[in-house]
Amino acid sequence: MSAVRCIDLCKTYRQGDQDIKALDHVSLEIAAKGFVCLSAPSGGGKTTLLNAIGGLDIPDSGEVWVAGQRIDQLSKGALASLRLQQIGFVFQAYNLIPVLSARENVEFVMQVQGVSKDGRREKSTAILKEVGLAGLEDRRPAEMSGGQQQRVAVARAIVSKPALVLADEPTANLDSKTSDELMELFVELNEHHGTTFVIATHDRRVMGYAKRLIKMLDGRIVDDINQRAA
Amino acid sequence: MNYAGIIITLAWRNLWRNHRRTLIMVAAISVGAWAMIFMTSLMRGMVNDMLRDGIRVLPGHVQVHHAAYRDDPSVNNLLAMTAGEVSAAMTAAGIERFTARVRVPAIISSERESRGITFVGVDPRQEALLDAIGSAIVEGEALSGPDDKGVIIGQKLADKLDTRVGKRVVVMSQDPDNEVADRGFRVVGLYAANLAVQEETYAFAGREIVQAMLRIGDGVSEVAVSGDDYRDVSQLLAQVSALMDEQDEVLPWQELDAYLGTMLGVMDGFVLIWVIVIFLALSFGLVNTLVMAVFERVREIGLMLALGMRPSSILAQIIVESILLLVIGLSVGNALAFASIVPLQDGIDISIVAEGMEMFGASSVLYPELQMNDVVLANIVVLLLGFLASLSPAWRASRYEPVEAITKV
Ligand SMILES: Nc1ncnc2c1ncn2[C@@H]1O[C@H](COP(=O)(O)OP(=O)(O)O)[C@@H](O)[C@H]1O
Ligand SMILES: [Mg+2]
């Protein structure tokens, strides 16, 4: 069973009197335990594709399957619980709740999932340490640098070990050293927990970690490279 | 629950995100709640004063009459039971505050003037227990017992009759056979009442003397019984009904005095309207605050939805935030109201503004009355309507599309 399957996805946005094909007949299959990078120049359709896979946006046509389930026809409620239980998100635009501390942001998803207080605390402490934020647990987002905020977002996405992580430019605000640490963390999770990663990026350093590199341009897949022959 | 925990945490922190706006809203709600409770207690004080006075004229929360007495208050319409029987029955039932009266229309004449009055034969000890108007003697003395041969009249009537304590008057009425029944009395005391018309209307004499004058044996026209709270007389009504002869009519004061009874009802309605009017003024501020709050947080609401939080939890968050705001405002408002009413318990002298008010039966000292049910009403109205007012902004927040909201700038 593949982790993600997209069949002939199309999504068109209207900007003024111009139609923009954000997704133009995209078909794609990502195996379980995959580690995929989506690379495209800005406006290439990465975010739109991730949103379709994450059940945040419904494509105009085509099918989206996640973990063997067709999701483009699910109700909003069913999509919400799919996102909550099975997918970890790092968004491109906006990631943290300003009134919550780093720890509380990391624990947010677990709290909504109903994880006990002790369980949450243990996991959030460990994950914040792994992303290099030990000691900053009680800071609010406004009291952290862009890179630190980004790491909190990553910590939240992976803390409850979801089957699928969708990360939209997760290293955008990070220096190269931190980027490497973060990617190594992803790789480790991928190898030890079998978490499937789909990472949108135009950072070459990030692409280097991927088992598979999918290149997009103007909403179409233009290249699909298997970087580490199995 | 964990989930409720995060909703409350978010609501609470968001509430204090914009301190200034929240404090202004808290202040507005506090002042509103204070005004509701304080003004209501003043109105209550005023009306209670009128009502108590009204009931005091010939008091009794529950009264018993011959079925025809209220249409024709004559000596022919006496109760089935005698004063002695009533007394025995009441005492046996453990009722202490009761009185049996003879009450007939009569003409009182001094050497110079005559006036139509209501002539009341009383047992002064029983009347005193009920705090009847005749008990407030300002000159001379009270009746000593049901066999006292004197008469007590109001100050105003004494003026009109041009008589005074120590002088003699003649009271004339009819006996059951329509024969003239009259008797001379010495004025032994003058009483004062809040209403001039009361002082002019009622004259009191010993019950046994009046019974003898009217040739009615030990018959009486009225039994009055008082309980603990004039607002709730249903239990007393049932108890007294059981004791009295079934032909006789047992009624609560509200029905005996429709004006006063209606007034209490009108007052309750008035309090509710007052509370709602203040709330409506508040609700504009409340809704506006919430709409602003939701608008400022579109992106994080989108984020929470995108992460898989249910729209109903977003709805709950905004409502909890609104309720927290209301509860804080109400707490301060209630405290202010109590703090401002308690020092006024001894009465506010409103004689400067109250000239002419006496005509309506209000006295010139106003005792604010803090009634728990009014306080509860005000708080419930604010919470309930506040909850309803916050539904619309909360609903809007919960309907955002996560992706659109999250990318909104
Ligand atoms: N909500 C939207 N309304 C209009 N156009 C949009 C919207 N979202 C994306 N687009 C357009 O769709 C195209 C693909 O966007 P996106 O998926 O965000 O690309 P990427 O993430 O690769 O930069 C872009 O041309 C973008 O302008
Ligand atoms: Mg993008």
Q: Are residues B18 and B96 in the same domain?
A: no
Neighbours of ion ligand 2 (CB under 5 A): A 46-47, 92
Q: Please, is B182 exposed, middle or buried when counting C-beta atoms within 10 Å of its C-beta (0-12, 13-18, 19+)?
A: middle
Q: In this complex, do A112 and B307 lie within 8 Å of one another by their Cβ atoms?
A: yes
Chain B residue with CA closest to A106: the answer is B307
Judge if B197 and B300 occupy the same domain: no
User: Do residue A99 and residue B302 have CB atoms under 8 angstroms apart?
Assistant: no
When the pLDDT of each residue in chain B is averaged and rounded to a whole number, the result is 84
Cβ-proximal residues to B139 (8 Å cutoff; 6+ apart), any chain: B155, B165, B189, B190
Q: What are the tens digits of pLDDT across the range A80-107? A: 999 999 999 999 878 999 999 999 999 9
Instruction: Compute the distance from residue B53 Cα to the ligand 2 centre, in Å.
Output: 80
> Are residues B108 and B167 part of one domain?
yes
Q: Indicate whether B319 and B247 sit together in one domain.
A: no
Last-in-domain residue among B192, B227, B254: B254
Q: Mean pLDDT highest for which of A178-182, B182-186, B282-286, B351-355?
A: B182-186
Nearest by CB to residue B299, choosing from A94, A112, A114, is A94
Residue A126 lies in a domain: yes
Among residues B254, B289, B321, which one ends one of the domains? B254
Same domain, B294 and B160: no
Distance (Å, whole) CA A196 – CA A202: 19
Q: Which chain B residues touch A82 with a CB distance below 8 Å?
A: 308
pLDDT of B39 reads 86
Q: Do A80 and B308 touch (CB under 8 A)?
A: yes
Q: Is the CB of A11 under 6 A from ligand 1?
A: no
Counting from 1 in the atom list of ligand 1, the atom nearest the Cα of A46 is 22
Distance from CA of A228 to the nearest CA of B (A): 32
pLDDT above 90 for B78: no
Q: Is residue A17 part of a domain?
A: no
Report the nearest-CA residue for atom 26 of ligand 1: A43
Atom 21 of ligand 1 has which residue's CA nearest to it?
A47
Residue A82 located in a structural domain: yes
Separation between Cα atoms, residue B328 and residue B30, nearest integer Å: 8
Q: How far apart are CA A93 and CA A90, in angstroms?
A: 9
Residue found by looking up tokens 């066999």 in the block: B147
Q: Do B279 and B181 belong to one domain?
A: no
pTM more than 0.80: no
Same domain, B381 and B402: yes
Q: What is the mean pLDDT of residues B358-384?
A: 76
Question: Distance between CA A182 and CA B9 in Å, rounded?
Answer: 30
pLDDT given for residue A139 in this prediction: 96
What pLDDT is recorded for position B123?
87
* Residue range B123-177, pLDDT digits in tens: 887 777 666 666 678 889 888 888 989 999 998 899 989 999 999 999 999 998 9
d(CA A171, CA A191): 20
* Cα-to-centroid distance, A92 and ligand 2 (Å): 6
Does residue A54 line the site of ligand 1, with CB under 6 A? Answer: no
Q: Is residue A194 scored above 70 in pLDDT? A: yes
Query: Do B201 and B294 belong to one domain?
Result: no
Average pLDDT value for residue range A118-127: 94
Residue A210 sits in a domain of what CATH number?
3.40.50.300
- Minimal CA–CA distance to A214: which of A18, A26, A63, A58? A26
The chain A residue lying nearest B312, using CA atoms, is A77
Nearest CA in chain A to B7: A112
For chain A, what is the domain count? 1
- How many domains does chain B divide into? 2
Contact yes or no for B110/B167 (Cβ under 8 A): yes
Q: Are residues B249 and B375 in the same domain?
A: no
Contact A84 B302 (CB under 8 A): no
Q: Does residue B230 share a domain with residue B287?
A: no
- Given a cut of 60, is residue B2 above it in pLDDT? no
Question: Cβ(A47) to ligand 1 under 6 A?
Answer: yes
* Residue A223 phi, psi dihedral angles, 5° rounding: -155, 145
Range B200-205 average pLDDT: 88
Q: Which of A196, A150, A210 is nearest to A54 (CA)?
A: A196
Q: Is the pLDDT of residue B68 over 70?
A: yes
Helices (H) and strands (E) in chain A, counts: 7, 10
Residues A170-198, mean pLDDT to the nearest whole number: 89
The two three-digit tokens of residue A217, written as one number: 């341009």
Inter-chain touch B6–A111, beta carbons under 8 Å:
yes
Please check whether residues B128 and B213 belong to one and the same domain: yes
B88 and B230 housed in the same domain: yes
Task: Give mean pLDDT, residues A37-49.
Answer: 93
Reported as half-sphere exposure (CB side, CA atoms, 13 A), residue B297 has a value of 29
The per-residue pLDDT of chain A, averaged, comes to 92
Q: Does the pLDDT value for residue B57 go beyond 60?
A: no
Nearest CA in chain B to A115: B2
The complex's ipTM? 0.94
- Domain hosting B376: range is 3-54+261-407
Q: Is residue A111 part of a domain?
A: yes
Residue A80 lies in a domain: yes
- A108 with B299: Cβ contact below 8 A: no
For residues A120-142, average pLDDT: 94
Q: Which of B254, B281, B306 is the last residue of a domain?
A: B254
Which region holds residue B146: left if phi is over 0, alpha if psi is between -120 and 50, else beta? alpha
Subunit contact B300:A98, Cβ cutoff 8 A? yes
Is residue B118 classed as helix, strand or coil in its secondary structure? strand
* B237 pLDDT tier (thresholds 50, 70, 90): confident
Q: Tell whether ligand 1 has an atom less than 6 A from the beta carbon of residue A44.
A: yes
| Ligand that lies nearest to the alpha carbon of residue A43, given by its number in the listed order | 1
8-state DSSP, A101:
-
pLDDT interval class at B59 (50, 70, 90): low
Residue A42 Cβ contacting ligand 1 at under 6 Å: yes
Residue A230 confidence (pLDDT) = 43
Name chain B contacts of A85, Cβ cutoff 8 Å: 308
Select from A47, A168, A169, A201 the residue to mutate for testing ligand 1; criterion: most ligand atoms less than 8 Å from CB.
A47
Domain residue limits at A43: 33-56+75-226
Shortest-distance atom of ligand 1 to CA A41 = 22
Identity of the residue in A81, A93, A109 whose CB atom sits nearest the CB atom of B406: A93
